[in-house]
Amino acid sequence: MPADIGFWASSFVWRDAMIVAVLSASALAYLGVWVVLKRAVYVPLALSQVSSAGVVLAFLIGAWLGVDEHDRHGLGMLFDPSWMSLLFALLTAFWFARPRGESSNAVVVAYLLGSAAVLVLGGFVRQDLHDVQSVLFGNAVLVDTIQILYVGVAALVAALVHALMHRRFLFVSFDPDAAGAAGLGPFRVEVALYATFALMISVATRAIGALPAFGLMVLPALTGLHLGRSMRAAFAISVASGVLAAGFGYYASFVLGLPTGASMVALAGLVHLGSLVARRA
Amino acid sequence: MGDVLIRLDEVSIGYGRPLMRPIDLEIRRGEFWGVVGPNGAGKTTLARTILGLLDPVGGRVDVRAKGLRYSYTPQRHRLSASYPVSAFEVVLMGRTAYLPVGRRPGPDDRKRATEELARLDMAEHGKALFRSLSGGQQQRVLFARALAVDPDVLVLDEPAEGMDLLGTSDILRFLRRLNADGRMAVLMISHRIDHVIDTVDHLCIINKDSDTFEAGPVATIASPERLSSLYGRPITTRVHDGRTHVELKEV
């Protein structure tokens, strides 16, 4: 197929973007299993909005301080959009980790405030609109090589935290009262878990966009939990369907000229619908 | 008398503001306590305060002495049914709390979990998904998890919740044998006085609505007058075949 030849022949165009998408999808799909189990599916959406507000604020402060976007030093480094995005997401995650935080109105408040802040503060940013949009919502088609490093490090940190604390996360999520009575300190454990959500969401939102970051966190996890008969199987199926959706979604968007992020999410959604049908059959 | 494991000194329980007048309570090793009261009387709030899950509004709670182990089996409806975890994994969770971060449960932990499942006649269900078990079986798995850590203090919240006659009878028979060696203190919370009165040796009656809190040996506390006052209806007690029966008088 000519389209296939075109796709493979132009691998230098999409290679980095594909790596970032697949890396993000695998980490998000893994974390998504926890998000769905904790019935906190709107948490990633709220985290994404709040981290975007951090980005806009960083641009505003940067402009106020006269920071050159391409040459950040001193205070300019401190108010780098990446750091501010992560800081805002982490602070919000800390808030959500409070007892019943994820199920309370806190998520809605964070989402609405984050969205409003982006729109209100965004009007004051004099930066080229395209630059801001790209930083805010990512660009799954073309990514900087540095994004591979950001996403890779974030995924590695999240993986390390989960490798060390998996069983504590499970006990505290499944039965917080019994875990607390046993002296596990549910709040501390929840903070660690939510911090991994915040880390991955803030990095992935910037790398591949808000919609794919949210979609690849929730849809593959729903598939994994629908088909998996154990936690291990749920994680494996979730990661596999996330990677499949990201990889083939990117391919489909390239070949058919479709929006990339939306193609990934649509494919993840189709895989999930397929799992519902397969389970019934 | 065993050593004091839990001491409440002029403690006000509640969420932000006191539910009732301050209370005093002392629980020793080897004692089997029942906490009874109508629905919404403040029983679970008291248990959560005792376990350190909820800060008291006032007063002082002396718990969590160094090296002591606390186990809690909450009401089953508080657990999510969506987790694809096996009964064995649920039992193993209890042991997790006492392992250093990053350490996986070892052979000793697995052996202990297997033993407790077997003790509760659940050995053959170890690989079954927890969510696929019946209410009574789930309760047994939660007991196994609580007991697998060899607790000093065991708190059971509505252990017979949602069970049929047979399941309730089995659970209560198990509980009566549970503390035969007097190694731990057990606190059983229930709105069913008829379940508790024949199982425990100490009784705590609580009702925030009537500002009632009394605690002591069953023989002292379970008087018809006190129980009638607690539930707001005439109640009588009688001993038959060595067991205490509670009866609600027709009005």
* B51–chain A nearest CA distance, Å: 6
How many folded domains does chain B comprise? 2
* Structural domain includes residue B105: yes
Q: How many CB atoms lie within 10 A of CB A28?
A: 34
**Residue A102 backbone phi and psi in degrees, to 5:** -70, -25
* Structural domain includes residue B239: no
Record: contact A182-B72, CB cut-off 8 A? yes
Spell out the residues 6+ positions from residue B238 whose beta carbon is closer than 8 angstroms to its own.
Answer: B244, B245, B247
Whole-number percent of chain B with pLDDT over 90: 45
Record: contact B64-A182, CB cut-off 8 A? no
* B4–chain A nearest CA distance, Å: 18
The pLDDT assigned to A265 comes to: 94
CA of residue B129 relative to chain centroid, distance = 24
Contact criterion met (CB below 8 Å) for B159 and B73: yes
Please, what is the Cα angle at B210 between B27 and A177, to 5 degrees?
Answer: 45
**Which of B48, B91, B93, B153 is most worth mutating to test chain A (most A CB atoms within 10 A of its CB)?**
B93
Buried b (16+ CB within 10 A) or exposed e, B213-226: bebeebeebbeeeb
The residue written with tokens 């049908």 in the block is A277
Mean pLDDT score, B144-153: 93
The pLDDT assigned to B130 comes to: 95
Please, what is the Cα angle at B162 between B114 and B27, to 5 degrees?
Answer: 70
**Which of A161, A168, A177, A187 is most worth mutating to test chain B (most B CB atoms within 10 A of its CB)?**
A177
Distance (Å, whole) CA A84 – CA A62? 11
B159 reaches A (C-beta below 8 A): no
Mean pLDDT score, B63-89: 86
* Structural domain includes residue B193: yes
Segment B31-56, tens digit of pLDDT: 999 999 888 889 989 999 998 888 99
The pLDDT assigned to B64 comes to: 65
- Same domain? For B132 and B22 the reply is no
What pTM was estimated for this model as a whole? 0.88
The list of chain A residues with pLDDT below 70 reads 1-5, 68-78, 100-103, 126-142
Record: contact B53-A181, CB cut-off 8 A? yes
The pLDDT assigned to B174 comes to: 82
Using a 10 angstrom Cβ sphere, with 0-12 exposed, 13-18 middle and 19 or more buried, the burial of residue A129 is: exposed
Cite the beta strand spans of B167-233 per DSSP E.
185-190, 202-207, 212-217
For residue A117, how many C-alpha atoms fall within 13 Å in the half-sphere facing its CB? 23
Residue A230 with chain B: CB contacts under 8 Å: 84-86
* A229–chain B nearest CA distance, Å: 6
Q: What's the CATH code of the domain at B52?
A: 3.40.50.300
- Same domain? For B93 and B156 the reply is no
Residue B81, CA distances (Å) to A27, A93, B129, B140 in order:
25, 25, 10, 16
The pLDDT assigned to A1 comes to: 45
Query: Which letter does DSSP use for residue A98 in this model?
Result: S
- Same domain? For B103 and B202 the reply is no
Record: contact B70-A167, CB cut-off 8 A? no
* Structural domain includes residue B117: yes
Record: contact B85-A170, CB cut-off 8 A? yes
Longest Cα pair distance anywhere in chain B, in angstroms? Answer: 61
The pLDDT assigned to A124 comes to: 79
- Same domain? For B59 and B103 the reply is no
Distance (Å, whole) CA A262 – CA A250? 9
Three-class DSSP category at B26 = strand
Nearest CA in chain B to A34: B83
* A134–chain B nearest CA distance, Å: 37
Question: How long is chain A?
Answer: 281
Record: contact B102-A177, CB cut-off 8 A? no
The residue written with tokens 């794919």 in the block is A212
- Same domain? For B114 and B161 the reply is no
Please report the residues numbered 57 through 116 in chain B whose beta carbons come closer than 8 angstroms to any beta carbon of chain A: 64, 69-74, 78-80, 82-86, 89-90, 93-94, 96-99, 101-102, 104-105
Q: How many CB atoms lie within 10 A of CB A73?
A: 9
Residue A163 with chain B: CB contacts under 8 Å: 102
Using a 10 angstrom Cβ sphere, with 0-12 exposed, 13-18 middle and 19 or more buried, the burial of residue A238 is: buried
* Structural domain includes residue B250: no
Record: contact B99-A183, CB cut-off 8 A? no
Q: Integer distance in angstroms from the first to the last C-alpha of chain B?
A: 42
Buried b (16+ CB within 10 A) or exposed e, A196-205: bbbbbbbbbb
The residue written with tokens 């209560």 in the block is B172
- Same domain? For B215 and B191 the reply is yes
Record: contact A175-B79, CB cut-off 8 A? yes
- Same domain? For B64 and B1 the reply is yes
Which of A37, A164, A181 lies nearest to residue B70, judging by beta carbons? A181
Record: contact A231-B96, CB cut-off 8 A? no
Record: contact B64-A183, CB cut-off 8 A? yes
Residue A226 with chain B: CB contacts under 8 Å: none
Contact criterion met (CB below 8 Å) for A249 and A268: yes
Distance (Å, whole) CA A79 – CA A230? 43
Q: Which residue has the higher pLDDT, A64 or B122?
A: B122
- Same domain? For B135 and B39 the reply is no
The pLDDT assigned to A134 comes to: 62
- Same domain? For B55 and B161 the reply is yes
Domain with B98, as residue range(s), is: 80-150
Residue A187 with chain B: CB contacts under 8 Å: none
- Same domain? For B145 and B208 the reply is no
Spell out the residues 6+ positions from residue A7 whose beta carbon is closer than 8 angstroms to its own.
Answer: A14, A251, A254, A255
- Same domain? For B45 and B105 the reply is no
Segment B219-250, tens digit of pLDDT: 888 888 888 888 888 888 887 777 777 877 77
The pairing of strands B212-217 and B202-207 is: antiparallel
Tokens of B133: 């078990």
- Same domain? For B37 and B161 the reply is yes
Segment B181-214, tens digit of pLDDT: 778 999 999 888 888 888 888 999 999 988 889 9
Q: In what order do the strands lie in the sheet with B23-28?
A: B23-28, B4-12, B58-62
* Structural domain includes residue B232: no
Mean pLDDT score, B81-110: 92
- In 3D space, the residue among B208, B204, B198 whose CA is nearest the CA of residue B227 turns out to be B204
* Structural domain includes residue B247: no
Which of A39, A170, A182 lies nearest to residue B70, judging by beta carbons? A182
* Structural domain includes residue B26: yes
Question: Which ipTM did the prediction report?
Answer: 0.88
Which run of H or of E encompasses B36? strand B32-36
* A277–chain B nearest CA distance, Å: 19
Residue B162, CA distances (Å) to A112, B72, B117, B134, B172 in order:
40, 18, 21, 10, 14
